[in-house]
């Protein structure tokens, strides 16, 4: 996964922002190797990316409290900087408060884009970055602490989040890195239900764990997890994208009026019928889904899950 291609991979539209900035939102996902960030600056509608890149261009800096101690630690804490109009991302290591950081080699990648996003149809600045977890001394299942600074000439702003970022690391945002699920889904090829094929040869089904699964003509398949997915390739290699998703809001209390409840039950039955049609009326797939519903789920929880599975089945 590279910056620029994961934006088209729908991952960003499936997740919620983990952090809000003065002029936009931050989305974070990770796999076992990298931290991926989308900084969607809906409030920067001026494309300052002239060539060659100058200090007037839009720019971003990420600050990492690598040792998670809330202090600016010399030789340890890091910065990544990029300016629109340049493909280059710079990594620098802190030399302590008040001293200019030292440049360091990096395998981080970044791309500056300008266009609409699910959060604003008006064209705006978007930064996509991938940072190797090894450079951050981090790993899946652990935490990273980071701060953001974004610049724009048009409209003019210089946002630091937290505001005193340059001399105080105690208020940085903390993000928990998801642990990719074990590659347990491997080895099931051919054992599952039939599913439905569309004209492109894609088969949509629900596997024995009750998860939406998309099987492609080339023999690869994608299993959609609660947030993110696992791709399994024909030779069995697996690649998992997980996200640090915010919790869904609690559903409203159940209605007391029997008519309202009946209407919601009808909605659930309709959703199940849609799901059944999407998997080619495969009763085994539908049953696998139903087995994954909790016995104590409310009608709202069922609506939420069924809608999610339908969206996942339709995600390609
Ligand atoms: Ca701008
Ligand atoms: Ca530190």
How much of the chain, in percent, has pLDDT values that exceed 70?
88
Q: State residue 28's pLDDT score.
A: 86
| pTM (two decimals) | 0.60
Structure token pair of residue 258: 């029997």
Q: What is the pLDDT of residues 15-27, one digit of tens each?
A: 778 788 999 999 8
191 CA distance to ligand 1 centroid (A)? 52
Q: How far is the CA of 145 from the centre of ligand 2 (A)?
A: 9
Q: Which tens digit of pLDDT belongs to each residue from 209-230?
A: 999 999 988 888 999 988 788 8
Please state, in angstroms and rounded to a whole number, the distance separating the CA atoms of residues 127 and 49.
12
Tell me the residue length of the chain.
316
Asked if pLDDT for residue 192 goes beyond 60, the answer is no
Alpha carbon of 138 to ligand 2 centroid (Å): 13
Q: How far apart are CA 280 and CA 288, in angstroms?
A: 14
104 CA → ligand 1 middle, Å: 27
For residue 80, the model assigns a pLDDT of: 96
Ligand 1: distance of its center to the CA of 199 in Å? 43
Q: Give domain limits for the chain.
A: 9-176, 201-316
- The protein residues having their C-beta less than 5 angstroms from ligand 1 (an ion) are 44, 46, 48, 58, 152, 154
Query: Nearest ligand, CA of residue 64?
Result: 2
CB 16 within 8 A of CB 29: no
**Cα–Cα distances in angstroms (integers) from residue 94 to residues 26, 107, 173, in the given order:** 23, 18, 18
Ligand nearest to the CA of 48: 1
Task: Determine the average pLDDT of the residues in 174-184.
Answer: 64
Q: Ligand 1 centre from 47 Cα, in Å? A: 5
CB atoms within 10 A of CB 309: 23
Q: Which helix (H) or strand (E) holds 292?
A: helix 283-292
- Give the up-direction half-sphere exposure of residue 300: CA atoms within 13 A in the CB hemisphere: 9
- How far, in Å, from the CA of 58 to the mean position of ligand 1? 5
How many angstroms separate the alpha carbon of residue 77 from the centre of ligand 2? 5
Cα(72) to ligand 2 centroid in Å equals: 5
Ligand in nearest proximity to the CA of 49: 1
What average pLDDT does the segment 104-116 reach?
92
Query: What are the pLDDT digits (tens) for 245-266?
Result: 666 677 788 888 888 889 999 9
Buried b (16+ CB within 10 A) or exposed e, 83-106: bbbbeebbbbbbeeeeeebeeeeb
Q: Which CATH number fits domain 9-176: 3.40.50.300, 3.30.360.10, 2.60.40.1190, 3.30.365.10?
A: 2.60.40.1190
Whether 9 has a pLDDT exceeding 70, the answer reads no
């Amino acid at each position: 996964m590279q910056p620029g291609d994961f934006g088209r991979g729908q991952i960003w539209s499936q997740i919620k922002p983990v952090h809000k900035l003065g002029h936009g939102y931050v989305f974070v996902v990770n796999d076992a190797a990298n931290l991926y960030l989308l900084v969607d600056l809906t409030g920067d509608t001026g494309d300052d990316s002239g060539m060659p890149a100058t200090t007037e261009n839009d720019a971003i800096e990420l600050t990492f409290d690598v040792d998670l101690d809330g202090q600016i630690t010399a030789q340890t804490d890091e910065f990544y900087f990029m300016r629109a109009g340049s493909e280059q991302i710079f990594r620098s290591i802190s030399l302590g408060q008040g001293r200019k950081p030292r440049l360091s080699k990096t395998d981080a990648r970044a791309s500056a884009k300008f266009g609409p996003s699910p959060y604003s149809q008006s064209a705006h600045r978007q930064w996509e970055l991938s940072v190797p977890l090894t450079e951050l001394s981090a790993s899946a299942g652990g935490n990273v602490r980071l701060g953001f600074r974004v610049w724009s000439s048009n409209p003019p702003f210089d946002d630091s989040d937290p505001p005193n970022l340059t001399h105080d690391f105690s208020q940085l945002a903390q993000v928990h890195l998801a642990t990719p699920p074990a590659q347990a889904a491997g080895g099931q090829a051919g054992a599952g239900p039939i599913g439905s094929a569309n004209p492109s040869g894609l088969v949509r089904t629900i596997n024995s764990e009750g998860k939406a699964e998309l099987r492609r003509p080339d023999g690869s398949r994608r299993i959609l997890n609660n947030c993110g997915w696992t791709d399994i390739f024909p030779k069995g290699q697996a690649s998992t994208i997980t996200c640090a998703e915010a919790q869904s809001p609690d559903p409203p209390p159940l209605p007391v009026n029997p008519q309202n409840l009946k209407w919601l039950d009808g909605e659930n039955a309709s959703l199940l019928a849609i799901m059944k049609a999407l998997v080619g009326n495969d009763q085994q797939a539908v049953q696998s889904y139903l087995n994954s519903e909790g016995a104590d789920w409310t009608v709202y929880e069922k609506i939420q899950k069924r809608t999610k599975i339908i969206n996942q089945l339709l995600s390609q």
